[in-house]
Amino acid sequence: MLRMSYYDTAVKLAESRNIQDFVDIDIFQEAKKVIEALQNMEVGPALAWCAENKSRLKKSKSKFEFQLRLQEFIELVRAENNLRAITYAQKYLAPWGTTHMKEFQRVFVTVAYKSTTECATYKVLFEPKQWDYLVDQFKQEFCKLYGMTLEPLLNIYLQAGLSALKTPYCYDDDCTKEDPLSQEGFRKLAMPLPYSKQRHSKLVCYITKELMDTENPPQVLPNGYVYSTKALEEMARKNDGKITCPRTGLVCNFTDLVKAYIS
């Protein structure tokens, strides 16, 4: 909820469950101020945040501050304050020239083209969506700074679980009701996710931990438990043809077993 900017709801949830000490509400409230300012086309709070975290951002080779400065320069050009824009570029953008010269040059040329240009290369720099890019960039820098994943962990766990369960058979009409993906809600959530890499189940013997296949087929005991032929033959050889289920203690003859076939 905090990641998706539902701050008030997140605070109420934390209070109702008494988990305030386990969540990062204060940190996200700090981010909220920056995001709201960027959405209102203001770079001041974002620049202040960069100044507070300057050493850590520098260590991660962040160029977020440079992007903020570029946008502030663009706004001066949009307002036709060209002289002020040039002065601003000399003071705040020129120091970045050694590492971001191409981006600096491209933005600086807008002084000649102005905000009304139809040239696609420069017109895009004046579009409102540039502020959306800054919001997204800030969220990435914010998560990186505090060691958070870009995607919420809840989403990651849910996607991993659904992907592990997802096979082509889940979408068949005769899909078993025990399969979670037989439910329409889970099917919709799993739709964009990849199928599980292992499409076919593997049967592993409880006794020997070996794979049960056509060379070592599974045998079914009268109580319904299944073990490999190799394990049960070894057991019968040592116990005069008797088989003891290691999980239930049932004793039966080897001749009572029923071979199961793997399709």
Q: What CATH number corresponds to the domain at position 208?
A: 3.30.40
Q: Is 196 in contact with 163 (CB distance < 8 Å)?
A: yes
Q: Are residues 157 and 141 in the same domain?
A: no
Tell me whether residue 222 is in a domain: yes
Q: Are residues 138 and 159 in the same domain?
A: no
Tell me whether residue 196 is in a domain: no
Query: What is the number of structural domains in the chain?
Result: 3
Q: Are residues 11 and 140 in the same domain?
A: yes
Tell me whether residue 198 is in a domain: no
pLDDT of residue 24: 86
Q: Are residues 33 and 81 in the same domain?
A: yes
Q: Are residues 114 and 166 in the same domain?
A: no
Q: Are residues 53 and 161 in the same domain?
A: no
pLDDT of residue 98: 87
Measured distance CA(120)–CA(134) in Å, rounded: 20
Tell me whether residue 168 is in a domain: yes
pLDDT of residue 200: 61
Identify the H or E element spanning 258. strand 258-259
pLDDT of residue 217: 92
Q: Are residues 16 and 139 in the same domain?
A: yes
- The CA-atom distances, in angstroms, between 69 and each of 116, 123, 155, 187 are 21, 18, 34, 45
Q: Is 244 in contact with 250 (CB distance < 8 Å)?
A: yes
Tell me whether residue 60 is in a domain: yes
User: Domain span at residue 228?
Assistant: 203-259
pLDDT tens, N- to C-terminus, the chain (263 residues): 888 889 999 999 999 999 999 988 999 998 999 999 999 999 999 999 999 999 999 998 999 999 999 999 999 999 999 999 999 999 999 999 888 999 999 999 998 888 888 898 889 999 999 999 999 999 999 999 998 888 888 889 999 999 988 887 788 877 778 888 888 899 899 999 988 866 566 789 999 999 998 889 999 999 999 999 999 999 999 999 999 999 999 999 999 999 988 76
Q: Are residues 33 and 68 in the same domain?
A: yes
Q: Are residues 135 and 247 in the same domain?
A: no
Q: Are residues 14 and 110 in the same domain?
A: yes
Q: Whole-structure pTM over 0.95, yes or no?
A: no
pLDDT of residue 165: 87
pLDDT of residue 151: 84
Pairing of β 211-212 and β 203-204: antiparallel
Per-residue burial over 106-138, b = 16 or more CB atoms within 10 Å of its CB, e = otherwise: ebbebbebeeeeeeeebeebbeeebbeebbebb
Handedness of CA 218, 206, 160, 174 (dihedral sign): positive
Q: Are residues 138 and 109 in the same domain?
A: yes
Location of structure tokens 């320069």: 73
Return the structure tokens found at 41: 């086309």
Q: Are residues 127 and 68 in the same domain?
A: yes
